[in-house]
Structure 1
Amino acid sequence: MPKRVIFILLILFGFNLASAQILIIGKVLESNANLPIEYATISLKDTSSKTPFTGTVTSPDGTFSLKTNETNFYIEVSFMGFKTRAFNDFKIIKNTIDLETIILTQDTEALDEIVVRAEKSQMEFRLDKRVFNVGTDLSSTGASSLEVLNNIPSVNVNIEGEVSLRGSTGVQILINGKPSVLASADGNALGSITADMIEQIEVITNPSAKYDAEGTSGIINIIMKKSEKRGINGSATLNFGDPNSNSFGLSVNKRTEKFNLFSQFGFGIRTFPDELESINQDLVNKTTINSFGESEFNEKFGNILIGTDYHLNENNVVTLSGSYAYEVEDQNSKTNYNQTDASNSTTDSWLRNEKTEADNPKLRYELQYKKNFNRHKDQSLLFSALGNSFRKDQFSDFENTTIIGDEDDFQQKTRTDYTLEDYTFKLDYTHPFLEKYTIETGSQYVINSVSNDFAVSDFINDEWVNNPDLTNVFNFDQKVLGIYTTAAYEGDTWGLKLGVRLENTNLTTVLKTTSETNGKDYTNLFPSIHTSYKITDNFSLQAGYSKRIRRPGLRDLNPFSNIRNNFSISTGNPDLQPEYTDSYEITSIHKMEKASLNFSLYNRYTIEVVERISTFENNVSTSRPENVGTNTTTG
């Protein structure tokens, strides 16, 4: 029995020795000035096959460390423009190999063969998009993605970080073809992306069937580089504007062999002054109510974003990210009202003061999985799930002070509890074949749930009394399921892309105060066709057609309104129908030696156009959205 115990202990002891990790450390310097070399490659190679099995790169101070369980290896240290050094004879002391200081000398022969090309940013045509390749003239400057966007023709970014395309806001911004936390407008999260991380930016003014049919402003798709540089990268932005538009942003990115960690933090203060004026005329009784005043909207905000990409292997990547923003708002306004009779004499005059405060917490989170395939570099499967939560807690106080007339002073206050929950699930598959052909197919499911709890109270006999005529709870629930397929041929001279998208919309609105329920369920087909033709190497043409939709939102449908101005009221219409647009476009690009010239002609024909129709009764102007007809826009 003692012999068996000793034998087992020897086996366990031997296993411990075999599994002990070896730590390898050192520091790499260049020979001229003994300065540290960052990003030098440290490779562990099998002694027999000469193939590397693990490795690392040096940090900014030239140091490195890595661990291995292998025992049959040698160490190789290399860096571009320097002679490679190999270490076969080293000592292992307490499971550690200390190479101490490694000096690399310049390889003059290799340096003579290096050709440095200054890659310039340039625009090119694809079937259904314009592609802006980000060159070293921008990526080497440390510019943010917002600055890169500002360099693209027809794209503009204001000091608040709001992106517009052809002068229209509401542009949908995608990261690698999908919605993303980084693409959120909240807190300028795009500032966490620097130019050297961007491969291309696609500008899609007339989207194909692959993309959501909602909206007419267009799409900007930011394509990230597949392998951003390792180590820690960061950028900081500081903006000043007048009146009082100041913000600070800090972004940090750290990339290792398996992980890419990214984060962004920002805060700021903004002020939006405004002047108010309206005139209500009763042409029958010859009376007029004139109002004029000033308001100031102040916003303080802070946000934080954090996320990671985990590379399971060369073909599989998982991304998990989230952001949180918090806004504090206050608005003050003073409006003077004057009522005159037929002789233009003032009969009544009063002052209306408003003080509004609101807190807005915002939360966004995302999970993504992408799989690439070895058979073709553009074959991919992408799944993403994006969630968005927003809440507004708002309180307003209104006070009317009579200056002229017999009206009594009075006070009102309002409370708004607004909540929004959005969820987007997206699956896309791209399959290239026969070199010049590509098929895309996929689906998207969007859930949009909004609740608006609005209450009004009047100050009567020294107490606050709820006003049931103006108090309401309005719920909005919309689900949109879309499926699509596209087929494309892209040759050297010309290309053609056909697509079709099917979307089913299920909408339910409930006005709890009056127990009114409205439901809509409709299905639409959205075709698209795009073509391009290269007349010469420097001159190309592109043409496209797509069908779009604009669905009414909660504010368009909610029949109740606020009480900011009791004589100029804006309400919603629960019976409103969506707008449908046929969009046509033709674009040319002429490349010259140091510039490129773009010319575009577009036409949009819209039916069921939504316009606000105003009615006037008892000196009160009430506007309500209605589907009034058609509209043609050419530019």
Structure 2
Amino acid sequence: MADALRQLQGSMIESVEVITNPSARYEAEGEAGIINIVLKKENQLGVNGSFEVSGGYPHNYGASYNLNLRRKKVNLFSSYGINYNKRPGEGYIERYVTRDTVFHDRTNRNHTRGGLSTHISLGADVFFSPKDVLTFSGLYKYGNGNNLTKLTYTNFDTLNNVIGNTYRQDNENEKENNIEANVSYRKKYDEKDREWNTNLNFNLSDDTENSNISQNSIPSETSSNTEDEWNLLFQSDYVQPFGINGKFEMGLKSTLRDIDNDFSVSEPNRLAVIDSLSDKFTYRESITAGYLMAGNKTGQFSYQGA
């Protein structure tokens, strides 16, 4: 979620809505409501766009563009962004155990996290009429991160003298690829707030993390974690207002999800995988659900039921 927000330019946002009593179609978690970010739709004919360059300390650099080509019946849009960051950090934990005997240890941590990320999106809006829009869009994201963590464990005796040090280093490389394709249709009616939205979305991603772990007290290890996932979503929602503030809503949603996760650990000087530390699992999900609900507002109070 944080990565998706970082990729949004301020010039792309039309408004930010706080919905305190969201409809079932938003699938809000908890009771705190949701934030709905509404992106701009360019209405001016011709070519328009924006370009943004950013920089920060320490080591945070980025550039992006947003481009539209609008004709009477078609709007073509594209965006691209690239970002590089490196975030250092440090900390320590001091622990005392005094139940039976005084035991004291300290953990010092130094780490550097970050890497390169980029994304590109292409799409088109087809206007059958001012109130009927069919949208096609595609998105590709790539990330290559390098994370280095150094840990020092220090043990002390009852007189606070150092009796042992353990040094551990974890050098991790993470590569991520994500492809997303979307087709959506929106129909608005002459009656205010009456609309029908249908969406079909496909998402494919793979994430590979490779770590080299070294420690002075045990042999070095390498670990690899590969996660492949795809999601298919179909959703259709209809909103029919009634009275002054009332709304009737109905919808259907169906999802398919497939996850394969493979985690393995081995020693650098041995080709064999350590079975006791490795695992592999597969997850399959298929859910179809529908809803009917109605809501209204009286004075300062709003209510709804499904």
- The answer to whether the aligner puts 1:252 opposite 2:71 as a matched pair is no
SS where residue 417 of structure 1 aligns? strand
Whole-angstrom CA distance in 2 between matches of 1:419 and 1:186: 23
CA root-mean-square deviation: 2.8
Amino acid at match of 1:312: F
What is aligned with 1:321? 137
Alignment deviations for residues 375-431 of structure 1 (CA, whole Å, 9 cap, x no partner): x24322211012222211111111113xxxxx4x52111011012223332110111
What is aligned with 1:359? 175
Task: Check the 8 A contact 1:192/1:264 in 2, yes or no.
Answer: no
Structure 1 gap ranges (5+)? 1-160, 163-183, 402-406, 501-635
Structure number with bigger Rg: 1
Which residue of the other structure, out of 214, 222, 228, is the alignment partner of 1:419?
228
Whole-angstrom CA distance in 2 between matches of 1:207 and 1:193: 26
Which residue of the other structure, out of 50, 68, 82, is the alignment partner of 1:235?
50
How far is the alpha carbon of 1:293 from its aligned partner?
Answer: 2.3
Whole-angstrom CA distance in 2 between matches of 1:498 and 1:412: 56
Higher relative CO (CA 8 A, sep ≥ 6), structure 1 or 2? 2
- The answer to whether the aligner puts 1:185 opposite 2:4 as a matched pair is yes
Whole-angstrom CA distance in 2 between matches of 1:475 and 1:216: 32
Task: Check the 8 A contact 1:424/1:445 in 2, yes or no.
Answer: yes
Amino acid at match of 1:232: V
Alignment deviations for residues 587-633 of structure 1 (CA, whole Å, 9 cap, x no partner): xxxxxxxxxxxxxxxxxxxxxxxxxxxxxxxxxxxxxxxxxxxxxxx
Task: Check the 8 A contact 1:318/1:369 in 2, yes or no.
Answer: yes
- The answer to whether the aligner puts 1:469 opposite 2:270 as a matched pair is no
Whole-angstrom CA distance in 1 between matches of 2:185 and 2:80: 25
Whole-angstrom CA distance in 1 between matches of 2:239 and 2:258: 31
Task: Check the 8 A contact 2:12/2:40 in 1, yes or no.
Answer: no
Task: Check the 8 A contact 2:296/2:304 in 1, yes or no.
Answer: no
Whole-angstrom CA distance in 2 between matches of 1:271 and 1:226: 34
Whole-angstrom CA distance in 2 between matches of 1:298 and 1:227: 34
SS where residue 277 of structure 2 aligns? coil
Alignment deviations for residues 110-157 of structure 1 (CA, whole Å, 9 cap, x no partner): xxxxxxxxxxxxxxxxxxxxxxxxxxxxxxxxxxxxxxxxxxxxxxxx
328 and 207 in structure 1: CA distance in 2 versus 1, 3 angstrom threshold: same
- The answer to whether the aligner puts 1:302 opposite 2:108 as a matched pair is no
Task: Check the 8 A contact 2:28/2:34 in 1, yes or no.
Answer: no
How far is the alpha carbon of 1:224 from its aligned partner?
Answer: 5.7
- The answer to whether the aligner puts 1:330 opposite 2:146 as a matched pair is yes
Whole-angstrom CA distance in 2 between matches of 1:287 and 1:318: 67
266 and 478 in structure 1: CA distance in 2 versus 1, 3 angstrom threshold: same
How far is the alpha carbon of 1:312 from its aligned partner?
Answer: 2.1
Alignment deviations for residues 6-29 of structure 1 (CA, whole Å, 9 cap, x no partner): xxxxxxxxxxxxxxxxxxxxxxxx
How far is the alpha carbon of 1:211 from its aligned partner?
Answer: 2.3
354 and 439 in structure 1: CA distance in 2 versus 1, 3 angstrom threshold: same
How far is the alpha carbon of 1:280 from its aligned partner?
Answer: 5.4
Task: Check the 8 A contact 2:42/2:70 in 1, yes or no.
Answer: no
Whole-angstrom CA distance in 2 between matches of 1:233 and 1:278: 53
Amino acid at match of 1:261: L
Task: Check the 8 A contact 2:12/2:39 in 1, yes or no.
Answer: no
Map residues 82-121 of structure 1 onto 2, 5 A cutoff. Answer: none
Whole-angstrom CA distance in 1 between matches of 2:273 and 2:96: 31
218 and 299 in structure 1: CA distance in 2 versus 1, 3 angstrom threshold: farther
The normalised TM-score by structure 2 is 0.87
What is aligned with 2:305? 499
Which residue of the other structure, out of 421, 429, 432, is the alignment partner of 2:241?
432
Task: Check the 8 A contact 1:280/1:289 in 2, yes or no.
Answer: yes
What is aligned with 1:194? 12
How far is the alpha carbon of 1:215 from its aligned partner?
Answer: 5.1
Which residue of the other structure, out of 149, 159, 163, is the alignment partner of 1:347?
163
What is aligned with 1:394? 209
How far is the alpha carbon of 1:366 from its aligned partner?
Answer: 0.8
310 and 466 in structure 1: CA distance in 2 versus 1, 3 angstrom threshold: same
Map residues 122-141 of structure 1 onto 2, 5 A cutoff. Answer: none
Whole-angstrom CA distance in 1 between matches of 2:41 and 2:63: 29
495 and 440 in structure 1: CA distance in 2 versus 1, 3 angstrom threshold: farther
How far is the alpha carbon of 1:272 from its aligned partner?
Answer: 1.8
Task: Check the 8 A contact 2:115/2:144 in 1, yes or no.
Answer: yes
Task: Check the 8 A contact 1:276/1:295 in 2, yes or no.
Answer: no
SS where residue 296 of structure 1 aligns? strand
Give aligned pairs, total.
Answer: 305
Amino acid at match of 1:412: E
Structure 2 gap ranges (5+)? none
SS where residue 469 of structure 1 aligns? helix
Whole-angstrom CA distance in 2 between matches of 1:230 and 1:350: 66
Answer with 300-309 or 431-440: which moved more: 431-440
- The answer to whether the aligner puts 1:454 opposite 2:263 as a matched pair is yes
277 and 445 in structure 1: CA distance in 2 versus 1, 3 angstrom threshold: farther
Amino acid at match of 2:295: A
How far is the alpha carbon of 1:466 from its aligned partner?
Answer: 2.3
Whole-angstrom CA distance in 2 between matches of 1:350 and 1:202: 51
Answer with 227-236 or 208-217: which moved more: 208-217
What is aligned with 1:530? none
Whole-angstrom CA distance in 2 between matches of 1:436 and 1:201: 21
Whole-angstrom CA distance in 2 between matches of 1:285 and 1:475: 46
Which residue of the other structure, out of 265, 268, 274, is the alignment partner of 2:80?
265
SS where residue 185 of structure 1 aligns? helix
How far is the alpha carbon of 1:226 from its aligned partner?
Answer: 7.2
Task: Check the 8 A contact 1:187/1:302 in 2, yes or no.
Answer: no
